[in-house]
């Protein structure tokens, strides 16, 4: 059942320390049950409140929300979903500090306060990287030097994932190419612009693919060990899969569905071939955990473990609320 949320017009001073979730339909998110349990476990004296804004809300609404959090003493910060780019574009100048990734990617997923200064971060490169590292064995790309990444969907997650996997600091443990397929051109153009600023020699390819059959052909052509990602939201935000049932995943491949709930047909397609093609199949649960805990750590100035028993405890607490 959805819990009450704010809109830009109904924001009211927080009577107790409050952490906000800025999205579209935040009242029905599972984090409404998870956060109170985590807060108790982590010893945080804070409540979570949702702020719902329509898709591509007016710039004035984004500015009102950011100014409200900045000026209200017990409003501690926020996690931003869906509005990451729009909020940053409309209100980026209101922040006293903007981290490197937020500047590079032109978006923010995390609003926090430090020493009286309003700060924004883009946490997706960190949280998606932690999630990838949890299921891709170290040295995987060296063992499969021809293996590539095919990410379907050219949104914020693909930007973050492509940064993580192509960093020069990874040495030879990088894919041979990073291929992004999208149904329309504008996001591919934006991605190309972001990639042009990266300090990497990993080749990037941009494929305009309006149909699942086109995606099948791209995925089916990749060498053993390649990673195939559904970053379109299809299966959760809209029905379907970016692939047809006829797709052939790469042998020894890694398959990642970014979501963990919904009618995840892409995940079913991968599981149907898991044994025969020796696939590692992963959903978005660990990504969800890292996405939230990275922001909570920043807002409340605490270190939250990213692996091991401390992280497992948070995962179990979250599972218990489902
Ligand atoms: N587990 C987690 O915690 C977690 C974290 C981050 C993201 N996610 C999920 O990952 C998904 C992607 O996130 P994001 O932030 O990258 O989203 P985004 O910025 O909205 O990008 C989605 C991309 O997918 C493409 N797309 C949408 N519908 C499509 C369709 N019917 N066919 C083909 N392509 C389609 C879009 O194409 P156009 O450019 O043509 O619009 C867009 O480029 C979302 O469902 C999100 O909920 C999960």
> Which tokens go with 254?
């890694």
- What pLDDT does residue 237 have? 83
What is the distance between the alpha carbons of residues 36 and 46, in angstroms, rounded to a whole number?
A: 8
- What pLDDT does residue 303 have? 97
What is the distance between the alpha carbons of residues 20 and 183, in angstroms, rounded to a whole number?
A: 33
What is the distance between the alpha carbons of residues 133 and 51, in angstroms, rounded to a whole number?
A: 32
Residue 207 near residue 180 (C-beta atoms within 8 A): yes
- What pLDDT does residue 135 have? 98
Residue 264 near residue 235 (C-beta atoms within 8 A): yes
- What pLDDT does residue 261 have? 86
Distance from the alpha carbon of residue 43 to the mean position of ligand 1, in angstroms: 34
DSSP string spanning 174-206? S-S-EEEEESSSHHHHHHHHHHHTS-----EEE
Which residues are registered as beta bridge partners of 257? 230
Residue with tokens 């899969």: 241
What is the distance between the alpha carbons of residues 190 and 317, in angstroms, rounded to a whole number?
A: 38
Number of other residues whose CB lies within 10 A of the CB of residue 38? 22
Q: Is the CB of 297 under 6 A from ligand 1?
A: no
Residues of the chain with CATH 3.40.50.720: 126-283
The predicted-structure confidence for 185-241, as pLDDT tens digits, reads as follows 999 999 999 999 999 999 999 999 999 999 999 999 999 999 999 999 999 888 999
Residues of the chain with pLDDT under 70: none
Number of other residues whose CB lies within 10 A of the CB of residue 54? 11
> Which tokens go with 25?
């339909």
Q: Is the CB of 243 under 6 A from ligand 1?
A: no
Residue 228 near residue 250 (C-beta atoms within 8 A): yes
Distance from the alpha carbon of residue 109 to the mean position of ligand 1, in angstroms: 15
Rg (CA), the chain: 20
Distance from the alpha carbon of residue 239 to the mean position of ligand 1, in angstroms: 12
> Which tokens go with 77?
């910060």
Predicted model pTM: 0.95
Q: In what order do the strands lie in the sheet with 97-98?
A: 47-52, 18-23, 75-80, 110-114, 117-121, 97-98
Check the CA dihedral 220-224-226-228 and report its sign: positive
- Identify the CATH homologous superfamily for domain 126-283: NAD(P)-binding Rossmann-like Domain (3.40.50.720)
Strands 110-114, 75-80: parallel, antiparallel or unpaired by DSSP? Answer: antiparallel
Q: Could you tell me which of 149, 158, 251, 157 has the C-alpha nearest to residue 202?
A: 149
Q: Residue 21, SS3?
A: strand
Nearest protein CA to atom 11 of ligand 1, as residue:
233
Residue 226 near residue 147 (C-beta atoms within 8 A): yes
Nearest protein CA to atom 3 of ligand 1, as residue:
288
Q: Looking at the structure, give the CATH architecture of the domain made up of residues 18-122+286-320.
A: 3-Layer(aba) Sandwich (3.40)
- What pLDDT does residue 116 have? 95
Residues of the chain with CATH 3.40.50.10860: 18-122+286-320
């Amino acid at each position: 059942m959805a819990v009450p949320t704010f809109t830009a017009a109904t924001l009211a001073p927080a009577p107790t320390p409050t952490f906000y979730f800025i999205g579209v339909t935040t009242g029905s998110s599972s984090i409404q049950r998870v956060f109170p349990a985590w807060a108790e476990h982590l010893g945080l004296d804070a409540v979570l409140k949702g702020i719902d804004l329509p898709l591509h809300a007016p710039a004035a609404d984004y500015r009102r929300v950011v100014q409200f959090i900045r000026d209200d003493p017990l409003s501690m910060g926020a996690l931003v979903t869906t509005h990451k780019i729009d909020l940053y574009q409309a209100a980026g100048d209101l922040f006293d500090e903007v981290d490197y990734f937020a500047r590079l990617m032109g978006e923010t997923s995390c609003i926090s306060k430090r020493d009286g200064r309003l700060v924004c971060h883009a946490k997706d490169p960190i949280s998606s990287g932690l999630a990838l590292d949890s299921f891709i064995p170290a040295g995987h790309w060296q063992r499969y030097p021809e293996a590539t990444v095919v990410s379907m969907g050219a949104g914020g997650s693909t930007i973050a994932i492509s940064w993580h996997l192509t960093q020069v600091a990874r040495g030879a443990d990088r894919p041979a190419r990073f291929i992004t397929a999208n149904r329309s051109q504008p996001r591919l153009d934006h991605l190309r612009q972001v990639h042009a600023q990266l300090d990497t020699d990993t080749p990037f390819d941009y494929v305009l693919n309006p149909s699942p059959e086109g995606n099948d052909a791209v995925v089916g052509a990749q060498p053993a060990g390649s990673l195939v990602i559904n970053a379109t939201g299809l299966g959760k935000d809209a029905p379907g899969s970016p692939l047809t049932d006829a797709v052939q995943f790469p042998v020894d491949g890694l398959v990642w569905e970014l979501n963990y709930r919904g009618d995840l047909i892409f995940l079913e397609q991968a599981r149907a071939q898991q044994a025969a093609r020796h696939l590692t199949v992963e959903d978005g649960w660990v990504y969800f955990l890292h996405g939230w805990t990275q922001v909570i750590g920043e807002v409340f100035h605490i270190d939250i473990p990213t692996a091991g028993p401390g992280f497992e405890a948070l995962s179990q607490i979250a599972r218990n609320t489902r």
